Structure 1
Amino acid sequence: MREEILRLLSDDHNHERTIQDLTRIFNIKAEDFADFMKLMNQLEDDGEVVRDQFNQYFTPESLGYFKGVLQLNKKGFGFVKVAEDKEFFVRSNLVNGALNGDSVIIRKLNDDPHSDEASIIRVLEHNIKDVVGLVVKLKGKIYVNADDSRIGQIRINDAHIKGAMPGHKVIVHITSYKPLRGDIVEIIGHKNDPGVDILSIVYDHGIHIDFPEEVYKQVENIPDEIDPTGMKGRTDLRDMLIVTIDGDEAKDLDDAISLRKLENKHYELGVHIADVSYYVEEGTPLDLEAVDRGTSVYLVDRVIPMLPHKLSNGICSLNEGVDRYTISCFMEIDQKGQVVDHRILPTVIHSTHRMTYTNVNKILDGDKEMRKKYADSVELFETMKELSDILTRARNIRGAIDFDTDEAKIIVDEKGKPIDVQLRVRGESDRMIESFMLVANETVAEHFKWLDVPFIYRVHETPKKNKLEQFLAIAKPLGYTIHGSLDDIKPKELAKIITKSKGKPEHPVISTLLLRSMQKARYSELCLGHFGLADEFYTHFTSPIRRYPDLLVHRLIRNYLFNENYSNIEHFAEVVPQLADSSSDCEKRAVDTEYDVDDMKKAEYMSYHIGEKFKGIISSVTSFGFFVELPNTIEGLVHITDLADDYYIYDEKQLMLIGQRTRKMYRLSDTVEVIVKDANKLEKQVDFVDANNYTKSRSSRRPKHSSPARPSTRKHKEHRGQRTHTRPRRKGGKR
């Protein structure tokens, strides 16, 4: 009935739209009228239909109305995205009390098809329920100043202060939106306590740290050592040379490698992954909590695991010298990097060595002491390097895009104070493991595609034409273009641009701009291919301790391959799409949290360097200034009002600022020396001035940070988590 009503109302030629018309058309009997009215009211509440002044029903679009989510600027205006490539601008006086993140109905301000201005007509749902902020006392009453300045100040109900005092960071549950009132539900700690700044961001993103009591009770029954009864049906690999290679600080080791050359000069690569699905059964409290978390979260000073430590660091972790249950993918790979045969098996392994990227890199570089210490494995690592080079060449030939953007490693002291921000160095061993994880993910995905059963894939769709056009408009002045039609773009064309820019000053800018033009990678029940990898088949199989999709893949492998159970196909056909969507949402939440913490710590670090000089490159140019990125990835704004020597005009086509009198230009990828003017930890923003174009007399005027178009100080905000993510983003060099 719902769909039939919407189909009728979306027909522009239909003129029968009153409730009387609809009851007649749909032959609603008197005894069913109340239920029909409930349905119409529900459609109206959901924003699926709207009524005009004559009580006629319409779909929102037919009256110039649209549904969307409000993204509010700190200055009060906002944008409402109503489609993938369509959004409307809402002036501050037309927001009509809506808050950031609210689902709203908007109305276009005029009939001009080129107009993108609208007003908010109605709030469908307030999507922000809980808010993190600082307790203050005003005129004897308790308020909380939300960390998100777009929310503002919340009056706390007197009966629900929970003992909080001024200076405490707290979580507030909003009980009223007009006016804003709420209850304090948890005290995070005092604002000056170590780690409270990071916890505030974690809670603000709705991430839980502690596990529910029922999860801990379930985990108590899981043994610390493997249960011998689980050996039945497993291939025993405990005498095989198998190693893990991870970051120095990693404790959740979920992948291990074996490798040998065959007589036909092919390679037999074994990728052995922790058999987490053996311990996490579907529908249990442990499983439901893992679904809710979706992924582990890696922050500068801690890890918030998807699974309790007894599993993530214990029975599921492939620690050195202990027996562990695994699911192994053995692949026979030829000299061209093609997988010519494969087997997926339930196994048990006994890791020979817990290796680190650092030590393997030393071995490959010829370090005598390290080669002597691991003499039994040196040949293995050298063979790994051989195969990795072959696999890399094969990916390059097919056109996989290697964005290879820099990542920061933030060093904090015992009190959480950032003492250094360094580039995270990726050595040969990192690339080897990445290659092996990629080929395992591809092999498992292709196996299940042809098995034709419900499955979860990691998909990355072809970029939108308008996004590529925007990229080209910026890249062409720098000497980069795309050959062929944008309607049928191939990954290889974009990979050529990245390759051409490598080693040049503009490489970071080109790589970032191209990354922004990509669609977001996500999880899906459909095998839609992975554009960035130039691959038709891809999934996430290799990190079940830290990502729920990988755990689900293992569950499906166990069900279909090991147990040969096809009686529950309908069940998985129903739940896999739901789990794909929730996993994509959880991934975004985790990545946003990780980057928000990084941005805060970067701003805090720069606050200790006010007045110091640094060299960087111009990473973005706007009408109100330009952003400069330092070699350690810290980015800050040089505001146009701080350019003292001239009046600068913004050339949108060439993406540059040009001095009206001097003709001096600020362009993408230009090197510039800057001075740190200001750094705001709470706002996560850094402000620079051009060291050679700045006077102290002008510095007394703060830059107008509320300029409408000011983007995030982070270049990857639009596509956080966009990388291939063969291993989840994590501290300690783990990829």
Structure 2
Amino acid sequence: MCGKTPRSTLKPAVGEPACIWSTACCPMLPPRLSNGICSLNAGEDRLTLSVHMEIDAGGRIVHYEIFPSVIRVQTRLSYNIVRRILVDGDENLRRQYADLVDHLEEMARLCHILRERRMRRGAIDFDFPEIKVKLDEAGRPVELVKRVRSLAESIIEEFMLAANETVAEHLHRLGVPAVYRVHEEPDTEKMEKLNALLHNFGQRLTTVDDIHPIVLQQVLTRIAGRPEERIISTVMLRSLKQARYEAENLGHFGLAARYYTHFTSPIRRYPDLIVHRILRETFTTGELSAKRREKLAKMLPVVAQHSSERERAAAEAERETVDLKKVEYMARFVGDEFPAIISGVTAFGLFVELDNGVEGLVHVSSMDDDYYQFIEEQYALIGERSKRIYRLGDAVNVRVVRVNPADRTIDQARVAEPGRGEADKADNGNGRKGNKAKGKTGTKRQAKSGGKAKAVAKPKSRLK
């Protein structure tokens, strides 16, 4: 944490993480802190806590120190600039930042070492592109931009993971009460369903009981670069439990880590702020008084639960804001056709995802060329007469029929595809032709209530 401030100043922010929406940012701390003395501006001194780690060639942390420090940022670099220097080899930027290039290249080498060590122990690494909505001055969406994680982002991520793990193990060994970031093993039932999906793509889990994360990592490695990678990764992520905060160290399944906490973002996450405070209290003697331990033991479980709840609420608010802007963006494309991938299959229709990350629903009632039966174990709709199959992961062409910003939904219809049978009949404008699904029943109202008919953002991993 940067500097000191009376704790009463921070009370209104307790447990409320910083939120970043398409149109605004709501900081956790007062702006004079988050945008002022806690902001890392070049050439200015900042008070903080530092984790100084000595790492060997195999990525093992052989020695570390955690201490109060004063830092001064030499140069502020954006992810884009670092990517252009390290990945693109931009000669102009390499000359402009010549005194930093060697340091950046050394950071890149260390990043690879740390990541390889994580992978060897079995960590699961989902790499979903992030969709950013560009707005004009009036707040209207003008473009959807797909951002893929580059080496620049990976460097920061690996360094933060190393710091978080080191601090978590340090607190655990001290035996002081603390807040941990935990991620428990998935339920066997969820793994069995995932395994059923994998069988449709010629893959399988070697076990579903007491599963180790390396088993899931191996599947992701085998499907990397294949058409089904996106779908399998999405279903796998949804099959895992959500990470949360706890006052007890339970380990982190997704990271294959015995100890993990959140330490690196005290201006936007309250648990990080708590961890900083506890660390500061231990610097003099390495211990806490019995009275302080008792107080923390009562307080931290409540803080952890509340922080987890508020984190989920903030994430949902961010998702809904992005969803709304996506729907507003797609309003200009009503009647247009797009290639898509089937991202979900239910008794009431197909959820499809466009190349720009927008999802919508092709309701079964608009599939009026046949009666379609939902085969749950195959993640498929199968035509009763034609035997035409629509499976999870299949490529289809769709037409945007209508958008509804009020409930953030996008309705779509299939477009006839070569080799897939007779063409769709003319749409009457409402996309509802009275077709009924055989098997499990469902309605669009049910889809809305479950949130699955919304134009949802691409899955964003909440494992870390």
Relative to the length of structure 1, the TM-score reads 0.59
Aligned position for 1:412: 135
The structure 1 residue matched to 2:446, chosen from 708, 723, 727, is 708
User: C-alpha separation between the residues in 2 aligned to 1:330 and 1:517?
Assistant: 36
CA shift digits 1:84-110 (9 cap, x unpaired): xxxxxxxxxxxxxxxxxxxxxxxxxxx
Task: Map 1:546-695 onto structure 2 (within 5 A).
Answer: 546-562=268-284, 564=286, 566-567=288-289, 568-692=292-416, 693-695=423-425
Structure 2 CA distance for aligned equivalents of residues 297 and 509 of structure 1? 28
Q: Once the 2 structures are TM-superposed, how far is the Cα of residue 703 of structure 1 from its aligned partner?
A: 7.7
1:451 aligns with 2:171: no
State the match for 2:79 in structure 1: 357
Deviation at 1:372, TM superposition (A): 1.1
Match of 2:247 among 504, 525, 536: 525
The equivalent residue for 1:215 is none
Conservation of the 8 A alpha-carbon contact between 1:457 and 1:525:
yes
Aligned residue for 1:217?
Answer: none
Instruction: Report how far residue 331 of structure 1 moved.
Output: 0.6
Sequence identity of aligned pairs in percent?
Answer: 43
Deviations 1:110-159 (A, max 9, x none): xxxxxxxxxxxxxxxxxxxxxxxxxxxxxxxxxxxxxxxxxxxxxxxxxx
Matched-pair contact (CA < 8 Å) for 1:617–1:672 = yes
Q: How does 1:424-503 map to 2 (within 5 A)?
A: 424-484=147-207, 486-503=208-225
Q: Any conservation in 2 of the 1:441–1:540 contact (CA below 8 Å)?
A: yes
Q: Post-superposition shift, 1:715?
A: 9.0
Unpaired runs of at least 5, structure 2: 417-422, 435-442
2:47 is the counterpart of 1:325: yes
User: Paired residue for 1:543?
Assistant: 265
* Structure with greater helix percent: 2
Does the CA-based 8 Å contact 1:603-1:685 persist in structure 2? yes
Q: For 1:723, give the aligned amino acid.
A: R
Equivalents in 2 of 1:563, 1:368: separation in Å?
A: 51
- Secondary structure of 2:129's counterpart equals coil
CA gap of 1:584–1:538, structure 2 versus 1, over 3 A, is same
- Alignment CA distance shift 1:720-1:629 (3 Å): closer
How many Å separate the matches in 1 of 2:210 and 2:458?
22
- Greater strand share, 1 or 2? 1
Whether the aligned pair in 1 keeps the contact of 2:128 and 2:460 (CA below 8 Å) is no
Q: Which amino acid aligns with 2:57?
A: Q
Q: CA deviation at 1:506?
A: 1.3
Per-residue CA deviation, residues 239-286 of structure 1 (Å, 9 max, x unaligned), is: xxxxxxxxxxxxxxxxxxxxxxxxxxxxxxxxxxxx24x42444x1x2
Residue of structure 1 equivalent to 2:440: none
Query: Counterparts of 1:111-122 in structure 2 under 5 Å?
Result: none
- Matched length: 446
Give 1:102-501 correspondences, 5 Å limit.
275-276=1-2, 278-282=3-7, 284=8, 286-293=9-16, 295-364=17-86, 365-484=88-207, 486-501=208-223
Distance 1:589 1:409 in 2: 20
**Cα 1:471/1:715, change in 2 over 3 Å:** farther
Alpha-carbon distance between aligned partners in 1 of 2:11 and 2:453, rounded to the nearest angstrom = 33
Shift of 1:380: 0.5
Unaligned 5+ segments in structure 1 are: 1-274, 726-735
Which digits, 9 at most, give the CA deviation of each residue in 1:498-536, with x for residues without a partner? 122221111111111111111110000100000000000
Q: Which moved more, 1:455-464 or 1:403-412?
A: 403-412
Task: Using the TM superposition, give the Cα deviation of residue 480 of structure 1 relative to its aligned residue in structure 2, in angstroms.
Answer: 2.1
Cα deviation, 1:48-104, whole Å, max 9, x if unaligned, reads xxxxxxxxxxxxxxxxxxxxxxxxxxxxxxxxxxxxxxxxxxxxxxxxxxxxxxxxx
3-state SS in 1 of match to 2:145 = strand
**Distance in 2 (alpha carbons) for counterparts of 1:494 and 1:531:** 11
Distance 1:703 1:607 in 2: 23
Residue 429 of structure 1, CA deviation? 0.5
Q: Secondary structure at the match of 1:633?
A: coil
Asked if structure 2 preserves the Cα contact closer than 8 Å seen for 1:399 and 1:495, the reply is yes
User: Which structure has more RCO (C-alpha within 8 Å, separation ≥ 6)?
Assistant: 2
CA distance in 1, matches of 2:250, 2:309: 19
Q: Are residues 571 and 718 of structure 1, via their aligned partners in 2, closer, same or farther at CA, if it must alter by over 3 Å?
A: farther
Q: Residues 653-694 of structure 1, C-alpha deviation per residue, up to 9 Å, x if partnerless?
A: 212111122211101111111111111111111111111153
Runs of 4+ in 1 over 6 A off after TM superposition: 714-721
TM-score, normalized by length of structure 2?
0.92
